[in-house]
């Protein structure tokens, strides 16, 4: 019982981290209309930015927002130079190949700059744990959980209450209609892309102290992100959150009670099962062929 409760809590905390990654991914898919295979690379960039700043003696809590800012700048430049062209070109699979290649190039770049070995990021929360009703949670994980919930909540409110947020929702629902009602669709798409990769960067900076950072760290983030997004329904933000919690808890349970070495395959097993019975995902809308 104790173990089960502990595992469930671990899963929830994991899921909160996954949710940030997946919401970024689903935002880009829903609004820009591309499956961003470079998402993991931006996650890794967030981690490395955080490493750079903390190794300069900056406090971790200051470094996290700054890391996100760095990723925002990189993301904006990427969108401006590459994504815009590959997307508004005349091929639907161009964006897929391009983001995939971008991810590969970024990881290779990170290896060339920082070397292939893992690097530590120190957080003031360190190795301390908090105890609550007999369940232990590492302080850093609790911090990630709180940050994730705050960020996702803020994003939800922004989408619902601000003009820009409503424009984003409009573009997601019907890009052409949005364009006809005077919304600057290319700008909103750029904004969505940058927001999405910023979320990935934030997740990278948050998880850096736990998992140390290494160039291919984004790979597992990308896998988790995609499994979560497909499970929840591509393009659906509540779906991404639900999927993240499900996968987080399922992974934690599976690791504790079944097998650690098979865990990486679990998410895809769930995805296949979902696609068989509910192709649009748990909360997704039935996909029209966009292409």
Partner 1 sequence: MAKSSSIGIDMAIQDFGTVMDRKQQTGAMAGDKPGRAARETIYVGCAVVAIVAFAVTFTDPFIVTLAGYTCAFALFALSINIILGGVGEVPLGQCLFFGVGAYGAAIGMGKVGLPFELAVLIALVLSVALAAAIGVITLRLTGAYFSIVSWGLTGVAMVAAANLEEITGGPLGLFGFPPIEIGPLQLSDPQTYFAVTATILLLAILFLVALRRSPFGAAMDSVRQNPHLARSVGVDVARVRLKAFMLSAPFAALAGALAVPYTQIVTPEVFSVANTVDGLLMVLLGGAQLVVGPVIGAAMFTLIPQAMNLDPNVRILVFSSIIILIMMFAPGGLHQLGVALRDRLGRKTDDDRSR
Choose among 117, 122, 50, 45: nearest CA to 77.
45
118 lies in the site for partner 1, by CB under 8 A: no
What is the spatial distance between Cα 169 and Cα 217, in angstroms, rounded to a whole number? 31
7, 189 in Cβ contact below 8 A? no
179-190 per-residue burial string, b: 16 or more CB within 10 A, e: under 16: eeeebebeebbb
Nearer to partner 1, 107 or 192 (CB): 107
Exactly one of 12, 52, 58, 101 binds partner 1 (CB under 8 A); which one? 101
Nearer to partner 1, 67 or 227 (CB): 227
Nearer to partner 1, 77 or 105 (CB): 105
In 10 A of CB 155, how many CB atoms?
Answer: 18
Closest CB 137 distance from partner 1, rounded Å: 28
Nearer to partner 1, 63 or 237 (CB): 237
Exactly one of 91, 162, 173, 174 binds partner 1 (CB under 8 A); which one? 91
Nearer to partner 1, 177 or 269 (CB): 269
What is the Cβ-side half-sphere exposure of residue 92, based on CA atoms within 13 angstroms?
5
What is the spatial distance between Cα 252 and Cα 259, in angstroms, rounded to a whole number? 10
Residues 64-83 contacting partner 1, CB under 8 A:
82
What is the spatial distance between Cα 184 and Cα 286, in angstroms, rounded to a whole number? 26
Q: Label residue 65 exposed, middle or buried (CB < 10 Å: 0-12, 13-18, 19+).
A: exposed
Residues 214-233 contacting partner 1, CB under 8 A:
223, 226-227, 230
| DSSP H helical ranges for 30-174 | 39-55, 60-78, 84-88, 94-114, 139-161, 163-173
What is the spatial distance between Cα 181 and Cα 164, in angstroms, rounded to a whole number? 14
128 lies in the site for partner 1, by CB under 8 A: no
What is the C-alpha R_g of the chain? 19
Strands 129-132 and 135-138: antiparallel
Given the rule CB under 8 A, which of 89-97, 119-127, 175-183, 192-200 is the region that contacts partner 1?
89-97
Nearer to partner 1, 112 or 130 (CB): 112
Exactly one of 62, 69, 210, 275 binds partner 1 (CB under 8 A); which one? 275
86 lies in the site for partner 1, by CB under 8 A: yes
Closest CB 160 distance from partner 1, rounded Å: 27
92 lies in the site for partner 1, by CB under 8 A: yes
Exactly one of 97, 130, 210, 258 binds partner 1 (CB under 8 A); which one? 97
Q: Distance of CA 269 to CAs 143, 258, 264, 266, 282, Å?
A: 30, 15, 10, 5, 15
Nearer to partner 1, 61 or 262 (CB): 262
Residues 146-205 contacting partner 1, CB under 8 A:
none
Closest CB 103 distance from partner 1, rounded Å: 8
Nearer to partner 1, 145 or 254 (CB): 254
By three-state DSSP, how is residue 264 classified? helix
The residues that touch partner 1, with contacts defined as CB under 8 A, are: 29, 34-35, 82, 85-86, 89-94, 96-98, 100-102, 104-105, 107-109, 111-112, 223, 226-227, 230, 234, 261-262, 264-265, 267-269, 271-272, 275-276, 279, 287, 289-291
């Amino acid at each position: 019982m104790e173990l089960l409760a502990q595992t469930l809590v671990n899963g929830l905390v994991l899921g909160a981290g996954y949710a940030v990654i997946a919401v970024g991914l689903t935002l880009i898919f829903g609004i820009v209309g591309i499956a961003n295979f470079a998402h993991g690379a931006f996650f890794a960039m967030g981690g490395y930015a955080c490493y750079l700043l903390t190794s300069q003696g900056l406090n971790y809590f200051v470094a996290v927002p700054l890391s996100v800012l760095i990723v925002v700048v990189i993301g904006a430049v990427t969108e401006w130079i590459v994504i815009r062209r590959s997307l508004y070109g005349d091929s639907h699979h161009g964006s897929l190949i391009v983001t995939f290649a971008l991810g590969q190039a970024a990881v290779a770049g990170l290896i060339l700059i920082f070397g292939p070995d893992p690097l530590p990021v120190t957080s003031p929360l360190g190795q301390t744990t908090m105890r609550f009703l007999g369940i232990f949670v590492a302080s850093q994980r609790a911090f990630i959980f709180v940050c994730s919930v705050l960020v996702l909540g803020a994003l939800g409110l922004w989408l619902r209450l601000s003009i820009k947020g409503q424009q984003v929702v409009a573009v997601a629902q019907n890009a052409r209609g949005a364009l006809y009602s005077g919304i600057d669709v290319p700008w909103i798409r750029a904004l969505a892309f940058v927001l999405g990769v910023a979320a990935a960067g934030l997740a990278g900076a948050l998880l850096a102290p736990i998992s140390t950072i290494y160039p291919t760290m984004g790979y597992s983030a990308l896998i988790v992100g995609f499994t979560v997004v497909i499970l929840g329904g591509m393009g659906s933000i509540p779906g991404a959150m639900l999927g993240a919690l499900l996968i987080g808890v399922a992974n934690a349970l599976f690791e504790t009670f079944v097998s650690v070495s098979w865990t990486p395959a679990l998410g895809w097993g769930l995805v296949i099962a979902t696609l068989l019975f509910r192709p649009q995902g748990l909360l997704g809308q039935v996909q029209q062929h966009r292409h």
